[in-house]
């Protein structure tokens, strides 16, 4: 087992992308319902005042370091964290492997038509992939039995939920035992990017660890989230001082 690094009370797996993909494959082979989380700085900061989210993350089978901030935090705390494992990239790696492994995938979340467009994109990029269902993320509690029935009848090995943090993590945890899906992953804006509705940062910005800045420039509604970054840095530094 790889090391898990405690960042603000959440245990994050010190894994490479290849190790994360291998771990997901092992979870699918095991067949027990499990949750995989993609922890960026914003999610880790939220977990400091959301005990339900923190408990879900610490009970997850895999928590990958999604974001330069998470990798920085681990290293600032003197721990090994080999690389960033972005949720979007993890999904692409799993989709690439899905036709070979014969994994079935269900896309749940985002605005109407977005999951359908992401499905078409996946089928173009990864010939032979089995996307066995889509459902948008606009629903009420009254719709949940129907959604659960739809997902269960599709019998996917992987459920990708794009409902935003922390709604997606809480929804997956709430219905994990009922759904009985080997791997469920909260994937945030992944479908939006695949559908071409939201652009991803240019590669040079990703490499310069500035993807967060690109998203803020592209979506001014996210700009308020930038305030979270200095708070995150401060809290991580306090953790280091207190340890």
Give per-residue pLDDT as tens, 71-127: 999 999 999 999 999 999 999 999 999 999 999 999 999 999 999 999 999 999 999
Between β-strands 104-109 and 130-135, what pairing exists: parallel, antiparallel or unpaired?
parallel
- Band (pLDDT 50/70/90 cuts) for residue 1 is low
- Band (pLDDT 50/70/90 cuts) for residue 207 is confident
pLDDT one-digit tens code per residue, 144-202: 999 999 999 999 999 999 999 999 999 999 999 999 999 999 999 999 999 998 777 77
Mean pLDDT of 213-242: 77
pLDDT for position 154: 98
pLDDT one-digit tens code per residue, 8-26: 999 999 999 999 999 999 9
172-187 burial, b if ≥16 CB within 10 A, otherwise e?
Answer: bbebbeebebbbbbbb
pLDDT for position 219: 65
48-66 burial, b if ≥16 CB within 10 A, otherwise e?
Answer: eebeebbebbeebbbbbbb
Q: pTM, whole model, 2 decimals?
A: 0.92
Instruction: List the helix and strand counts (H, then E) for the chain.
Output: 12, 8
pLDDT for position 229: 80
């Amino acid at each position: 087992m790889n090391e898990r690094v405690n960042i603000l009370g959440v245990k994050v797996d010190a894994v490479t992308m290849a190790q994360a993909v291998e771990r997901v494959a092992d979870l699918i082979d095991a067949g027990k319902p499990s949750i995989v989380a993609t922890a960026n700085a914003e999610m880790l900061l939220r977990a400091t005042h959301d005990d339900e989210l923190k408990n879900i993350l610490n009970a997850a089978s895999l928590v990958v370091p999604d974001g330069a901030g998470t990798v920085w935090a681990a290293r600032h705390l003197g721990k090994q964290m080999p690389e960033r494992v972005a949720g979007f990239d993890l999904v692409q790696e799993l989709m690439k492997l899905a036709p070979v492994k014969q994994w079935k995938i269900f896309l749940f979340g985002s605005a109407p038509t977005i999951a359908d467009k992401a499905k078409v994109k996946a089928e173009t990029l990864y010939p032979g992939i089995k996307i066995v269902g889509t459902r948008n993320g606009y629903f009420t509690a009254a719709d949940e039995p129907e959604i659960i029935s739809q997902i269960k009848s599709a019998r996917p090995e992987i459920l990708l939920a794009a409902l935003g943090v922390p709604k997606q993590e809480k929804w997956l945890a709430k219905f994990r035992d009922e759904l009985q899906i080997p791997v469920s992953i909260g994937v945030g804006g992944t479908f939006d990017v695949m559908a071409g509705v939201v652009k991803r940062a240019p590669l040079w910005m990703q490499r310069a660890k500035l993807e967060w800045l690109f998203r803020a420039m592209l979506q001014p509604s996210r700009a308020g989230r930038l305030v979270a970054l200095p708070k995150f840095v401060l809290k991580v530094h306090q953790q280091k001082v207190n340890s």
